[in-house]
Amino acid sequence: MKIEKQSSGKKILVKMYKTGYTTKSKTVTVKKVFSKGLTVNSVKSTQKTITGKGSKGATVRAYVNNKQIGKTTVKSNGTYSISIPKQSKGKSITVKISKTGYATSSKSIKVK
């Protein structure tokens, strides 16, 4: 279902109903979107860090096969560096950025 663009912080009531069934409803709050997109620099198999840029104060986590391998906070200058174990060439790493009131954003990269 498509709806008009909504401003962050706005509350929307969502209802699900079908004849003969109990109506279910839930109120959701529209989250902000990071104005500075998440950037992830390339990672080589010899490296033990992932670096990039994001929104200051946000939490950045790295995952391999849905298992967290590192976590850090974006510095006031908008950069981050996550310590991780060395990863083999071709391995896929997903980096997610999150902050209270914001929609989580992610990017995936392959180890070179």
Q: What is the pLDDT of residues 46-96, one digit of tens each?
A: 999 999 999 999 999 999 999 999 999 999 999 999 999 999 999 999 999
pLDDT of residue 61: 98
C-alpha–C-alpha distance, residues 94 and 69, integer Å: 10
**Per residue in 17-38, pLDDT tens?**
999 999 999 998 888 887 777 9
Q: Pick the residue with more confidence: 9 or 43? A: 43
For the chain, domains (ranges, CATH) are 39-110 (2.60.40.10)
pLDDT of residue 71: 98
pLDDT of residue 29: 87
Per the CB < 8 A criterion, the answer to whether 59 and 98 are in contact is yes
DSSP string, 51-93: EEE--TT-EEEEEETTEEEEEEE--TTSEEEEE-----TT-EE
